[in-house]
Amino acid sequence: MTAPEIRTIGVVGLGAMGSGIAQLAIEAGYATVGREVSDDLGERARERIAHFLQRKVDKGTLGVDERAAALDRLSLTTSLADFGRCDLVIEAIVEDLGAKLALFSELETIVRPDAILATNTSALSVTEIAAAVSTSERVVGMHFFNPAPLMPLVEIVQAELSSRAAVDAAYTVGERLGKRPIRCHDTPGFVVNRILIPLVNDCLRVLDEARVSPEDLDTAMTAGAGWPMGPCTLVDLVGIDVHVHASEALYEKLREPRMAPPPRIVAMKNAGLLGRKSGRGFYTYDS
Ligand SMILES: NC(=O)c1ccc[n+]([C@@H]2O[C@H](COP(=O)([O-])OP(=O)(O)OC[C@H]3O[C@@H](n4cnc5c(N)ncnc54)[C@H](O)[C@@H]3O)[C@@H](O)[C@H]2O)c1
């Protein structure tokens, strides 16, 4: 397959990740179509993007005119039919295989035959998602990190049937979005989560084994191992529910005991101690 030149990007799902990806796309000069399930959710995403771009203007890293031009490049829709003019569609809807399969099979009937389809899934198999379309060679993973506008990495994931042209095109878009893309194959957790999740789980097990406080564990890993942030601070920031979900997904696929979430954080999740977003996790936060 020959990949098209990417001029127009579609983003499906404008939640935490999709709105960040749409922001990157409009800042990089791409005409961008964002789809949400309701006008209200779409408008909320536009307001969030406008707010973050305003913060850049206030900091002097973006001009007032550039902000306005970027926002003009974003069009919102609730209809998938508007993706007919997209060269690349990046999916960032809920992490549910059934929902993603339904979306990809509908997308295939709408987008041009040469358009590339990418998923931002963290824990599902890109190969399984690609099975929803008859032209699986155009499906790749583009795994951004949260918050997408700030985290430099994007993992470009080659699924079983992805074409070289589709992977290369996604890589080039990643670069144009100002990211540092890496290439990898479709294995559970890809690269970063495959390494980081069991490592963080080990850290959390040591909390109980060594009877060390969260503060001291964080100091151990920042002052002793050079981590930019301690594991308790990191899990509070990511969200304890998000970390538990990612651990369970990896454990289900790999059956490695280190992947399983330690019982202590499962209990914290069930008790609503989710970290920063709920005001309390390993630490307490002012709302
Ligand atoms: N949050 C993270 O840290 C993170 C990091 C990397 C990748 N991801 C992945 O990105 C994807 C999205 O995660 P998120 O955290 O942004 O979730 P989110 O819940 O914040 O956003 C999902 C959005 O998708 C919308 N949506 C659902 N179905 C839709 C459809 N058919 N069409 C259009 N919109 C639809 C929802 O209304 C919601 O706004 C998931 O696959 C997740 O695994 C998340």
pLDDT attached to residue 239? 94
Taking the centre of ligand 1 as the mean of its atom positions, its distance from the CA of residue 93, in whole angstroms, is 4
- Cβ atoms of 78 and 38 within 8 Å: the answer is yes
pLDDT attached to residue 222? 98
- Which residues have any ligand 1 atom within 6 Å of their CB? 12-18, 35-37, 41, 92-95, 99, 103, 120-122, 144-146, 242
In this structure, the residue with its CA closest to atom 9 of ligand 1 is: 121
- Give the tokens for residue 282: 């390993």
**pLDDT tens digits, one per residue of 79-113:** 999 999 999 999 999 999 999 999 999 999 999 99
Phi-psi map region of 10: left, alpha, beta (phi>0 left; psi -120 to 50 alpha): beta
Beta-carbon contacts of residue 26 (< 8 Å; ≥ 6 apart): 32, 49, 70, 71, 73, 74
Which domains are present in the chain?
Answer: 8-185 (3.40.50.720), 193-277 (1.10.1040.10)
Atom from ligand 1 closest to the CA of residue 238: 3
**pLDDT tens digits, one per residue of 13-30:** 999 999 999 999 999 999
Asked if residue 287 has pLDDT above 80, the reply is no
| Over residues 226-245, mean pLDDT | 96
| Over residues 210-222, mean pLDDT | 97
Q: Cβ of 155: how many Cβ atoms within 10 Å?
A: 22
* Mutation test residue for ligand 1: of 23, 89, 90, 93, the one with most atoms within 8 Å of CB: 93
Taking the centre of ligand 1 as the mean of its atom positions, its distance from the CA of residue 208, in whole angstroms, is 33
Asked if residue 237 has pLDDT above 90, the reply is yes
Atom from ligand 1 closest to the CA of residue 15: 21
pLDDT attached to residue 3? 77
Mean pLDDT score across all residues of the chain? 97
Distance of CA 102 to the CA centre of its chain: 19
Query: Active-site residue numbers?
Result: 122, 143, 155, 193
- Cβ atoms of 92 and 11 within 8 Å: the answer is yes
Phi, psi at 227, each rounded to 5°: -65, 145
Asked if residue 254 has pLDDT above 90, the reply is yes
* Mutation test residue for ligand 1: of 122, 128, 150, 238, the one with most atoms within 8 Å of CB: 122
pLDDT attached to residue 132? 98
Distance between CA 73 and CA 25 in Å, rounded?
9
pLDDT attached to residue 4? 79
The pTM for the full model equals: 0.95
**pLDDT tens digits, one per residue of 29-60:** 999 999 999 999 999 999 999 999 999 999 99
Residue 198: strand, helix, or coil: helix
Taking the centre of ligand 1 as the mean of its atom positions, its distance from the CA of residue 91, in whole angstroms, is 8
Atom from ligand 1 closest to the CA of residue 20: 16
Distance between CA 144 and CA 121 in Å, rounded?
9
pLDDT band at 2 (very low <50, low <70, confident <90, very high): confident
Amino acid at 252: E
**pLDDT tens digits, one per residue of 144-172:** 999 999 999 999 999 999 999 999 999 99
Atom from ligand 1 closest to the CA of residue 123: 43
| Over residues 232-241, mean pLDDT | 96
**Peptide bond connecting 149 to the previous residue in cis, omega within 30 degrees of 0:** no
